[in-house]
């Protein structure tokens, strides 16, 4: 009997589960990392070419400086936990975009962007490290892959990413961009789930602690971010919901994170 493509993909999805670092949660993220990283690379360049990238000055240097420290911590963490191969094809980039939007994000493969609008809220290097660690954690935990998998299932009936790009390139790229909280022009933004947020918070704390930044700065950052709310909620909060329990959860995980902290 001939197996239909959707049925075959449902089978692949069922067996192609991965495990989130630290939490051990099983997730359905069946898009090959090579495809995700390739789409990430081209999409990242599209964003940079259509925006003003800040290449000089204290803030641009700060993003790169902190980014490289978090990168080293991530590579060490993955190596220590037998997952070095999972990021062996990462090609890290850290850029600052001139835009008053309060936002930051990380695409697969270590493609990071901060907007100038979030920098005053970050304040110092430790504040940047909170955001950097959190965003990179989303990528390391394959949350975007997970969201893209579900989106392809819901909107295209489960076709593979390369087929979707071939048949519906614009729609597929828009799904990718919205999955990572990039640019409201691509349509409805997709908030990260409570599960994803908790995982990114925990991993982010470890990454910043390993990089030499005090994880106790994380709750302080989210307090500053929450204070930016009101009538105009920052885009960073629309794509990363500020749950009432976030700071409480961060503080609960703090003793574990402090074990990794070496000032």
Residues 130-153 have pLDDT tens digits of 999 999 999 998 877 777 777 666
Distance CA 16, CA 149 (A): 11
Q: Tell whether the model's pLDDT for residue 1 goes beyond 50.
A: no
pLDDT digits (tens, 9 = 90+) for 61-88: 999 999 999 999 999 999 999 999 989 9
Does 135 participate in catalysis according to the annotation?
yes
Active-site residue, selected from the candidate residues 75, 93, 135, 199: 135
Q: Check residue 225 and give its pLDDT.
A: 85
| Domain-wise residue ranges, the chain | 28-258
Q: Which residues lie closer than 8 Å to 117 by C-beta, 6 or more apart? A: 99, 100, 101, 102, 103, 234
Query: Considering the entire predicted model, what is its pTM?
Result: 0.80
Q: How far from 219 is each of 247, 249, 253, 257, CA to CA, in Å?
A: 5, 9, 11, 13
Q: Tell whether the model's pLDDT for residue 45 goes beyond 50.
A: yes
9 vs 68: which has the higher pLDDT? 68
Q: What is the mean pLDDT of residues 209-236?
A: 82
Percent of the chain beyond pLDDT 90? Answer: 46
């Amino acid at each position: 009997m001939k197996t239909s493509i959707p049925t075959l993909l449902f089978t692949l999805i069922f067996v192609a589960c991965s495990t989130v670092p630290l939490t051990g949660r099983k997730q359905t993220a069946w898009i090959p990392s090579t495809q995700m990283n390739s789409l990430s690379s081209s999409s990242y360049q599209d964003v940079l070419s259509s925006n003003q990238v800040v290449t000089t000055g204290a803030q641009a240097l700060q993003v790169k400086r902190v980014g490289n420290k978090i990168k080293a911590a991530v590579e060490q963490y993955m190596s220590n936990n037998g997952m070095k191969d999972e990021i062996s094809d990462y090609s890290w980039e850290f850029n600052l975009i001139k835009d008053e939007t309060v936002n930051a994000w990380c695409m697969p493969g270590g493609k990071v962007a901060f907007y100038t609008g979030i920098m005053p809220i970050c304040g110092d290097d430790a504040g940047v490290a909170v955001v950097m660690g959190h965003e990179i954690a989303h990528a390391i935990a394959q949350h975007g892959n997970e969201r893209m998998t579900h989106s392809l299932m819901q909107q295209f009936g489960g076709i593979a990413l390369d087929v979707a790009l071939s048949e519906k390139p614009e729609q597929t790229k828009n799904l990718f961009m919205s999955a990572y909280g990039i640019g409201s022009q691509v349509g409805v933004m997709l908030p990260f789930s409570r599960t994803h947020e908790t995982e990114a918070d925990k991993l982010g704390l470890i990454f910043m602690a390993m990089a030499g930044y005090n994880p106790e700065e994380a709750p302080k950052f989210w307090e500053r971010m929450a204070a930016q709310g009101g009538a105009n909620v920052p885009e960073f909060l629309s794509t990363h919901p500020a749950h009432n329990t976030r700071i409480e959860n961060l503080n609960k995980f703090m003793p574990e994170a402090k074990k990794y902290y070496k000032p």
